[in-house]
Amino acid sequence: MRTVQALQCAAAMMAGALWVSAASAAPGDGPSARTATTIAQSGSGAAAQPKAAAKAKPAAAASKDGASKAAVRPASKPKAAPRTAAKPRAPVKRPTARTAAPAAAALAAKAAPAWSDTESRLTRPGDHPFTIAHGGLARSYRVNLPAGYHPATPAPLLVLLQGASRESARDIQDLARQAQAQGFITVFPQGAARGLDGKALVKAAWNADREPAADDVGFVMQAVANVFRQASIDRERIYAAGLGEAAAMAWRLACDKPDIFTAVVGIGAAQPAGPCSPSLPVSVLHFQAGDPLPGAAPGTRDPAAQWAQLNGCSAAPRRILDIGADYCESYGWCRGQAEVQRCVAGSDGESPAKGGALTISATDRMWDFLGRR
């Protein structure tokens, strides 16, 4: 019994000596795998602690070494900002059959003139410009309402046709002022005859010879119809007057529209060639510079003599005014109480519309003539 106890005591002492030896060993001189296995099999919980401590020390050393290396490592250079990439260009859209038609229509609408409102009533005195489409052309005219105009009182209407010369432009301004003073509504159509090539437009002129050009008669009548719709017009007092070459257009209106115009005044131009068979008599005043009518083209006729015949005047002309070498004469006994007058003036070289010291004023004679119609 004692012998057994002595052996057990010796074994315990040997195990304690081995544990002390392992605890005092250096970190690098740890127990071998076999020794560690033996310690684990012995069931001693304290044997795991030296092993964890041994592993922690190399890790701490490595961390300290890494920190020191980071301390001596130079700071890296700041990276340059990346270049901004260029924006890609938008692809060019080529017109297709679907987009080309609307684009062409928009371009045509932009190039086309803005047509005027010809339906609204005119009430404000002064000028009112208009642009309308007629015969495939953009045609323009201006309407002037006199200062005393009132929609409740129908006013006489005068269509003033201007020639292309500077003298005609000057004279028509004088006639326009007289029209305002007389209480007339005045329409100023603008001529637009075509050139010889049938395409290019020449200076403002009138197609009085029925050439295949602009439909000037239709255009003037469209302007008159618009004014009838927009203002109060005295139907029995509608007149036309033309200056210079525009006088021939006035004669054309008398020939083609005798049911519209009560009287027509022409200053300067002869009766154009071509047929003229008015269905009604029209009172006519022809004012010319010099006797006989200067610059009359072949085939043209003396307007006064022509209209005396057309109106069925039976009496010979008689002098009704004499001022020096200038005079006015009248044909009487005409159908429908129409009257035909001719005045010859301008012997001092002045414009017949302006009048001079010894000439007859066409403006005064015109208003005297129209005032009795």
Name the 3-class secondary structure at 132. strand
Instruction: Give the H or E element holding residue 10.
Output: helix 2-23
Mean pLDDT of 177-182: 90
Closest C-alpha among 257, 252, 253, 258 to residue 272: 252
Predicted local confidence at residue 184, as pLDDT: 95
Interatomic CA distance for residues 227 and 51, integer angstroms:
119
Interatomic CA distance for residues 55 and 325, integer angstroms:
145
Determine contact, residues 357/348, Cβ cutoff 8 Å: yes
Predicted local confidence at residue 193, as pLDDT: 53
pLDDT tier at 72, thresholds 50, 70, 90: very low
- Please say if the pLDDT value at position 179 is more than 70: yes
Closest C-alpha among 365, 366, 363 to residue 353: 363
Determine which of 4-8, 24-28, 263-267, 290-294 has the lowest per-residue pLDDT on average: 24-28
Name the 3-class secondary structure at 163. coil
Average pLDDT, the chain: 73
Mean pLDDT of 117-124: 94
Instruction: Compute CA distances 357 → 57, 227, 266, 297, whole Å.
Output: 136, 38, 22, 30
Interatomic CA distance for residues 259 and 344, integer angstroms:
28
Predicted local confidence at residue 97, as pLDDT: 54
Summarize pLDDT for 323-368 with one digit per residue, the tens.
888 899 999 899 999 999 999 986 544 455 544 444 788 888 898 8
Interatomic CA distance for residues 156 and 238, integer angstroms:
6
- Please say if the pLDDT value at position 191 is more than 50: yes
Summarize pLDDT for 197-252 with one digit per residue, the tens.
444 444 567 887 766 678 899 999 999 999 999 999 999 999 999 988 888 899 99
Task: Spell out a b/e string for 324-333, using b for 16 or more CB atoms within 10 Å of the CB, else e.
Answer: eebbbbbbee
Instruction: Compute CA distances 310 → 205, 280, 293, 329, 335, whole Å.
Output: 26, 9, 20, 17, 9
pLDDT tier at 75, thresholds 50, 70, 90: low
Interatomic CA distance for residues 325 and 188, integer angstroms:
33
Mean pLDDT of 255-278: 89
Name the 3-class secondary structure at 161. strand
Give residue for tokens 């964890």: 52
Interatomic CA distance for residues 273 and 299, integer angstroms:
6
Sheet-wide strand order for 340-345: 126-134, 137-145, 185-189, 155-161, 233-243, 263-267, 283-289, 340-345, 326-331, 318-323
Mean pLDDT of 121-136: 93
Predicted local confidence at residue 206, as pLDDT: 85
Interatomic CA distance for residues 241 and 215, integer angstroms:
18
Predicted local confidence at residue 350, as pLDDT: 46
Fold classified for 114-371: Rossmann fold (3.40.50)
Mean pLDDT of 95-123: 66
Instruction: For 231, list phi and psi in degrees, rounded to 5.
Output: -140, 170
Closest C-alpha among 256, 281, 254, 251 to residue 269: 251
Predicted local confidence at residue 66, as pLDDT: 45
Determine contact, residues 347/358, Cβ cutoff 8 Å: yes
Give residue for tokens 């302007």: 223
Interatomic CA distance for residues 155 and 144, integer angstroms:
12
Summarize pLDDT for 54-69 with one digit per residue, the tens.
444 444 444 444 444 4
What angle (nearest 5°) sits at the alpha carbon of residue 322, between those of residues 156 and 369?
10
* Side chain identity, residue 1: M
Sequence-distant (6+) residues with CB within 8 A of 344 are 288, 289, 290, 291, 326, 327, 328
Q: For 136, what's the count of Cα atoms within 13 Å in the CB-facing half-sphere?
A: 8
Predicted local confidence at residue 329, as pLDDT: 94
Name the 3-class secondary structure at 13. helix
Determine which of 163-167, 176-180, 190-194, 243-247 has the lowest per-residue pLDDT on average: 163-167
Closest C-alpha among 352, 129, 358 to residue 241: 352
Annotated domain spans of the chain: 114-371
Mean pLDDT of 132-144: 92
Determine contact, residues 242/269, Cβ cutoff 8 Å: yes
Predicted local confidence at residue 373, as pLDDT: 79
